[in-house]
């Protein structure tokens, strides 16, 4: 992992902390650790604390198979701005929500509840 510009954690939330902890000693000081797993804000804060490098939590807000790298994303955490700088030129629309880990996950959760509630209200 040393020498990598960015490490993307794309796995299941139940193993995200185990993965981050197992990689922590292998991460170089300039590496960005970006967690793209769907997880609760509290887990995102735990992940940020587990890695000794800048951390970005990234919440994908679109359909990945349809949009690929152009999938809209929300990012937060100390490394969120850097994540946006790296991925915007590749075509990913990234909205940075600030330096607090868990903010992107919280907004994604609220968005999901709102959209499902709207759909349920429309069907009734």
Q: Tens digits of per-residue pLDDT, 69-94?
A: 899 999 999 999 999 999 999 999 99
- Share the mean pLDDT of the chain: 88
User: Do the Cβ atoms of 39 and 16 come closer than 8 Å?
Assistant: yes
User: Do the Cβ atoms of 69 and 57 come closer than 8 Å?
Assistant: no
Query: Residue 99 burial (CB < 10 Å; 0-12/13-18/19+)?
Result: middle
pLDDT tens digits for range 12-47 = 999 999 999 999 999 988 899 999 998 999 999 999
**Band of residue 9 on the pLDDT scale cut at 50, 70, 90:** very high
* Helix (DSSP H) and strand (DSSP E) numbers for the chain: 5, 5
Q: Which two tokens stand for residue 39?
A: 């997880």
């Amino acid at each position: 992992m040393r020498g990598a510009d960015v490490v993307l954690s794309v796995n299941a939330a139940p193993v995200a902390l185990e993965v981050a902890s197992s990689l922590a000693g292998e991460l170089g000081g300039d590496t960005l650790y970006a967690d793209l797993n769907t997880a609760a804000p509290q887990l995102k804060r735990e992940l940020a604390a587990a890695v000794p490098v800048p951390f970005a939590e990234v919440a994908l807000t679109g359909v990945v198979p349809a949009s690929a790298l152009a999938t809209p994303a929300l990012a937060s955490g100390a490394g969120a701005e850097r994540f946006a700088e790296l991925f915007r030129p590749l075509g990913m629309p990234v909205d940075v929500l600030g330096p607090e880990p868990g903010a992107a996950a919280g907004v994604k959760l609220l968005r999901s509840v709102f959209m499902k509630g709207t759909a349920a209200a429309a069907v009734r």
